[in-house]
């Protein structure tokens, strides 16, 4: 709680029944945290190939990447969004003291990102892409696309908490809450989403990869300036 009360000198006078009463302004804040279930998963998988010649690394990567994309689309379903998120073909160099670097081969990397709303398919997508030839996964993130209901709930709870504080202050002063002069929303914040750590996909597990989705926290803060009849 952050009450910043203005004394009588900063208050307003109100007349009632011949008596003059002073209104004091106080500033209070309210905070809230709402738990929400993610509705979207974002997965990035990569195919990494290496060869002595650049053309060989590129061609091998192209063939494997095509198989991975087809497997990914089949596992993710029609509603998923699949797109290429990165591609590189780079030389591999060896550095020796007092000598120019020597190119020993080439590495090709093709990264594909899939966004899907059916979270039950996440493990199946990972397994299908690994079986098709993907050998690196950058990570899995979960987010909330349809976040308006949770944001509204967090905002309402933060406002109610701030109003409650203002009423407590008014009662402590022997008076009542007269009204709200100003309201400021200090922002709704969504913390970093849960991330499935990067791993090398070197083998295909016999069972489906288990994925725990967890929940997201949506926080809100509201600041009120209230007028209190201090009695």
Q: Where, residue-wise, is CATH 3.30.110.170 in the chain?
A: 1-38+145-231
Q: Which CATH class is domain 1-38+145-231?
A: alpha beta
Residues 223/8, Cβ–Cβ less than 8 Å: no
pLDDT at 229 over 90: no
Q: Where, residue-wise, is CATH 3.30.70.2970 in the chain?
A: 40-143
Residues 218/167, Cβ–Cβ less than 8 Å: no
pLDDT per residue as tens digits for the range 129-181: 999 999 998 878 888 888 889 889 999 999 999 999 999 999 998 888 999 99
Tell the residue number behind the tokens 């701030």, with chain if given: 162
Dihedral of CA 193/197/203/208: which sign?
Answer: negative
pLDDT computed for residue 204 by the predictor = 43
The b/e string for 3-17 (b: 16+ C-beta within 10 A; e otherwise) is eeebeeeebeeeeee
pLDDT per residue as tens digits for the range 69-122: 999 999 999 889 999 999 999 999 998 888 888 999 999 999 999 999 999 999
Confidence of residue 198 (pLDDT cuts 50, 70, 90): very low
Q: Which fold has domain 40-143?
A: Alpha-Beta Plaits (3.30.70)
């Amino acid at each position: 709680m952050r009450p910043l009360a203005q004394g009588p000198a900063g208050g307003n006078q109100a007349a009632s029944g011949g008596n003059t009463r002073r209104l004091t302004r106080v500033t209070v804040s309210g905070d809230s945290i709402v738990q929400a279930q993610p509705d979207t998963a974002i997965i990035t998988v990569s195919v990494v190939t290496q060869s002595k010649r650049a053309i060989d690394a590129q061609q091998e990567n192209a063939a494997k990447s095509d198989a991975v994309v087809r497997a990914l689309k089949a596992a993710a379903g029609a509603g998923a969004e699949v797109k290429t998120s990165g591609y590189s073909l780079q030389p591999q160099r060896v550095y020796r003291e007092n000598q120019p670097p020597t190119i020993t081969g080439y590495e090709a990397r093709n990264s594909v990102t899939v966004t899907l709303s059916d979270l039950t398919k996440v493990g199946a997508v990972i397994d299908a892409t690994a079986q098709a030839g993907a050998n690196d996964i950058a990570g899995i993130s979960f987010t909330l696309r349809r976040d308006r209901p949770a944001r509204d709930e967090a905002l309402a709870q933060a406002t109610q908490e701030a109003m409650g504080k203002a009423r407590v202050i008014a009662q402590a002063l022997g008076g009542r809450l007269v009204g709200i002069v100003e309201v400021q929303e200090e922002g709704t914040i969504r913390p970093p989403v849960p991330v499935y750590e990067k791993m090398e996909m070197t083998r295909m597990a016999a069972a489906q990869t288990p994925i725990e989705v967890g929940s997201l926290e949506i926080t809100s803060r509201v600041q009120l300036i209230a007028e209190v009849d201090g009695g």
